């Protein structure tokens, strides 16, 4: 493959002139024409690493998230990448698997690679490791006042779920959630749900599971079988995520209770497994595309301007998606 | 932030010595101890771009695929990243959105970034743009004899679907597929299905849709409504992907035909939207984890050894997953 010396030789300029041209430093017009012609003739591919070193900057953005393997995270990654691509940035994908040390490794790696910035969904407190040199945007978790923060209105979503169930005739509500003290989004969903029920004097319970993630569906099924084998009075269930709602939906297939006639069910996320999927569980829909776009916009804005003032919180409204597990009104 | 000069000064060695140490070039033992101590004291983060330039090599792998946003691709990406991480490589995620020019842009970008290699799922002929300098592994599409190739046994999967439907009592089979002439995996599934039916003298049709992806579910529903509104004799359907099977499943809800009693249904992929998901459509399961692991292993092998001999084709067996849309036998 041709190198920079070959280009310089063919264009009859110095190596430095070619280097300047590639790095966007102005050179004489006739030299520029000769250099470009030589680049084209030789199919010369400039070395990005050299340019990065020279500019102390790159076109990489690190996207750190717990996993790619849920509909919500897959859809979010899809839109973040699309938005980066429009702005000529590339995504370094970092799945932290909810491992705090791996998250820190990725942040360190991002600094080493001289990435332009980081977009992260973390459930750990990474604030001690954030330096002011590195632009960062946090989705769902508020880190500190300097870090732009993009989140759905989880509190409002919890209220909305309780409201929609009540308006559709449910009289005794149940919220199903796994205990994740570091997941502020989930906590806010509980707070919103409880807030609505208390203010509107709706009868409710919160089933807070404290076990591990792997066996949650099994434990949840056991809980539902116990609760519903006698004359259970819960007629409206709010699951903290669509995944939990799917567990509940499948458990009810084994019981003599029908959805939505006996029990109505609302999940949370509204993300699809693929863009043309038909959702069937009624849910509180997060605007995934907007979260993605705003995160990229915020990151590029602070990367350009390096502001020193407090960053705004971007709280994005959620909506109710009526599918097959709630009654029509 | 500390730079390399600060480290050299504190360690009382030259800048070159620090550079050698960071790049794994052997230096005197007592110098090495002092350099490491200075790095720790100053929280110095070496600049990856500089190391890349020096070594003309990086720890980045570009993963080019049409989209991240399907269960199959999300699961595949998850496992590829996990495997890269175990080997201390990072993933540059490139969604080509099935756009040939974007694929070529990504390949060019990968060469510029001096990535260690590329893993790609492409439905275009990118062979003219592959150089022997850049290790590449292709999933699903055979490129040429120098490029290692990892794929599921799509032909065997098509045969297996026809066999499982027939063994469960289906007498008139239908395969549903969208026309994708460049997608060799899909083509092989059709070939396998037809091969089984012809050899075993099973009555069959192939419904080959030639429209665009966006409206396929609508057209497919129209086709099924027409076919089944009279006394349709198809009692076993093989959908070329789980996504198509999901479309069919939802269309049947609108018809007076029950699954699996009147019509049995088998999809293809078996990928989950999240690791604990319960699949409900019977399907031909691809071993996604194995495809991911083998692709990474093959890439690292050729990146290390730069072999000049023909590369092997890795064809990975598929299995039948019996869920709710086929009869027990």
Residue range A298-328, pLDDT digits in tens: 999 988 887 777 777 899 999 999 999 999 9
Between B49 and A251, the more confident residue is: A251
Are A213 and B276 within 8 A, CB to CB?
Answer: yes
pLDDT one-digit tens code per residue, B245-254: 999 998 988 7
Is B93 close to A91, i.e. CB distance below 8 A? yes
Give dist(CA A211, CA A217) in Å, integer. 11
* CATH number of domain containing B14: 1.10.260.40
Could you give the ipTM of this predicted complex?
A: 0.79
Q: Which of B4, B15, B105, B111 shows the shortest CA–CA distance to A49?
A: B111
The distance of B18 to chain A (nearest Cα, Å) reads 16
- Residue B50 in this model has a pLDDT that exceeds 70: no
Residue of A nearest to B279 (CA): A250
Q: How far off is chain B from A248, nearest CA to CA, in Å? A: 12
Q: Which domain holds residue A103?
A: 60-152+288-316
Is the confidence at residue B58, as pLDDT, over 60?
A: yes
Higher per-residue confidence, B70 vs A133: B70
What CA–CA distance (Å, rounded) separates B79 from A287? 27
Q: Is A108 within 8 Å of B45 when comparing Cβ atoms?
A: yes
| SS3 letters across A136-193 | EEEECCCCCCCCCEEEECHHHHHHHHHHHHHHCCCCEEEEEEECCCCCHHHHHHHHHH
CB B268 within 8 A of CB B320: no
Residues of A in contact with B47 (CB under 8 A): 53, 112, 114
Residue B114 to chain A, least CA–CA distance (Å)? 7
Residue A80 inside a domain? The answer is yes
Nearest to A85 by CA among B191, B101, B35: B101
Q: Which of A90, A103, A244 to mutate to test the interface with B (most CBs of B within 10 A)?
A: A90
Q: Is residue A186 part of a domain?
A: yes
pLDDT tens-place string over residues A24-33: 778 888 888 8
Task: Report residue B5's pLDDT band, with 50, 70 and 90 as the boundaries.
Answer: confident
Q: What's the sign of the alpha-carbon dihedral B48, B53, B55, B58?
A: positive
Q: pLDDT tens for residues A75-88?
A: 999 999 999 999 98
Which comes out higher in pLDDT, residue B102 or B24?
Answer: B102
**Is residue B57 scored above 70 in pLDDT?**
no
- Could you give the CA distance from residue A270 to residue A61 in angstroms, rounded to a whole number? 26
CA angle B64, B70, B71 (to 5 degrees): 110
In a domain, A326, yes or no: no
Could you tell me if B245 and B126 lie in one domain?
no
Residue B118 confidence (pLDDT): 93
Q: Is residue A200 part of a domain?
A: yes
**Rounded CA separation B325/B329 (Å):** 13
Q: Which residue of A has its CA nearest to B110?
A: A48
User: Is there a contact between B112 and A46 if contact means CB atoms under 8 Å apart?
Assistant: yes
Instruction: Please list the helix, strand and coil fractions of chain A in percent, rounded to the nearest 5, in that order.
Output: 45, 20, 40
Q: How confident is the prediction for chain A on average, in pLDDT?
A: 88
- Across B15-113, where does the E strand assignment appear? 60-65, 90-95
Q: At residue B63, does pLDDT exceed 80?
A: yes
Task: Let me know: does A249 contact A265? Beta carbons within 8 Å.
Answer: yes
Nearest by Cα to A104 from A138, A136, A127, A72:
A127
Contact B131 A1 (CB under 8 A): yes
- pLDDT at position A248: 95
The residue among A38, A54, A70 that closes a domain is A54
A15 lies in the same domain as A138: no
Are B240 and B164 found together in one domain? yes
List chain A residues with CB under 8 Å of B94.
90
Both A174 and A264 in one domain: the answer is yes
**For residues B100-106, average pLDDT:** 83
Q: Are residues B123 and B162 in the same domain?
A: no
Residue of A nearest to B70 (CA): A274
Higher per-residue confidence, A317 vs A143: A317
Domain boundary among A20, A37, A54: A54
Q: Is residue B170 in some structural domain?
A: yes
Average pLDDT of chain B is 88
Q: Is the pLDDT of residue B52 over 80?
A: no
| Nearest Cα to Cα of residue A76 among B74, B272, B242, B100 | B74
B177 occurs within a structural domain: yes
Report how far residue A8's alpha carbon sits from residue A154's, in angstroms, rounded to the nearest whole number. Answer: 58
Residue B308: the pLDDT is: 74
Within this chain, do residues B176 and B145 fall inside the same structural domain, yes or no? no
* B102 and B162 assigned to the same domain: no
Residue A226 sits in the same domain as residue A160 = yes
Percent above pLDDT 90 for chain A: 53
pLDDT of residue A54: 53
Distances (CA, A) of A53 to A56, A263, B8, B51, B54: 5, 61, 19, 9, 11
> B95, A82: Cβ pair inside 8 Å?
yes
- Taking CB atoms and an 8 Å cutoff, what residues of chain A touch B110? none
B68 and B131 assigned to the same domain: yes
Q: Which stretch, A24-38, A167-181, B292-306, has highest mean pLDDT?
A: A167-181
For B98, which DSSP code? T
- CB B270, CB B143: distance < 8 Å: no
Please tell me whether residues A216 and A163 are part of one structural domain.
yes
B231, B172 contact by CB (below 8 A): no
In a domain, B326, yes or no: no
The residue in chain A having the minimum alpha-carbon distance to the alpha carbon of residue B61 is A92
Q: How many residues does chain B have?
A: 329
Angle at B243 between CA B237 and CA B246, to 5 degrees: 60
pLDDT tens for each residue of B189-217: 999 999 999 999 999 999 999 999 889 99
Same domain, B48 and B196: no
Q: Higher confidence at residue A286 or residue B16?
A: A286
Which residues in chain B have their CB less than 8 angstroms from residue A93's CB? 63, 77, 81, 91-93
H helix intervals, A168-287: 184-199, 216-229, 242-252
A300 in a structural domain: yes
Number of domains observed in the structure of chain A: 3
Q: In this structure, what CATH number is given to the domain that contains residue A295?
A: 3.40.50.2300
A183 and A279, same structural domain? yes
Q: Do B274 and A243 touch (CB under 8 A)?
A: yes
């Amino acid at each position: 493959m041709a190198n920079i010396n070959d280009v310089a030789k063919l264009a009859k300029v110095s190596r430095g002139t070619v280097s300047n041209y590639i790095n966007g430093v102005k050179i004489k017009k006739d030299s520029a024409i000769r250099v470009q012609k030589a680049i084209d003739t030789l199919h010369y591919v400039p070395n990005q690493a050299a340019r990065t070193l020279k500019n102390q900057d790159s076109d990489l953005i690190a996207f750190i998230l717990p996993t790619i393997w849920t509909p919500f995270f897959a859809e979010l990654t899809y839109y973040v990448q699309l938005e980066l691509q429009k702005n000529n940035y590339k995504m370094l994908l970092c799945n932290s698997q909810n491992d705090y040390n791996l998250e820190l490794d990725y942040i360190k790696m991002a600094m080493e690679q001289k990435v332009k910035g980081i977009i992260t969904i973390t459930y750990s407190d990474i604030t001690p490791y954030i330096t002011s040199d590195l632009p960062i945007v946090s989705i769902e978790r508020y880190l500190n006042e300097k870090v732009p923060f993009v989140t759905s209105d989880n509190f409002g979503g919890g209220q909305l779920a309780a409201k929609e169930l009540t308006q559709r005739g449910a009289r005794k509500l149940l919220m199903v959630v796994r205990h994740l003290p570091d997941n502020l989004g989930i906590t806010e969903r509980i707070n919103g749900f409880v807030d609505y029920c208390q203010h509107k004097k709706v009868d409710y319970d919160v089933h807070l599971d404290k076990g591990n993630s792997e066996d949650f569906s099994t434990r949840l099924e056991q809980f539902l079988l116990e609760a519903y084998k006698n004359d259970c009075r819960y007629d409206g269930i709010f699951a903290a995520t669509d995944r939990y709602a799917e567990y509940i939906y499948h458990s009810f297939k084994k019981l003599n209770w029908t959805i939505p006639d006996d029990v109505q069910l609302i999940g949370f996320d509204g993300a699809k497994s693929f863009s043309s999927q038909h959702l069937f569980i009624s849910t509180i829909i997060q605007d995934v595309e907007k979260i993605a776009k705003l995160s990229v916009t915020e990151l590029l804005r602070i990367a350009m301007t390096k502001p020193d003032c407090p960053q705004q919180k971007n709280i994005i409204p959620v909506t109710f998606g009526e599918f097959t597990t709630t009654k029509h009104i």
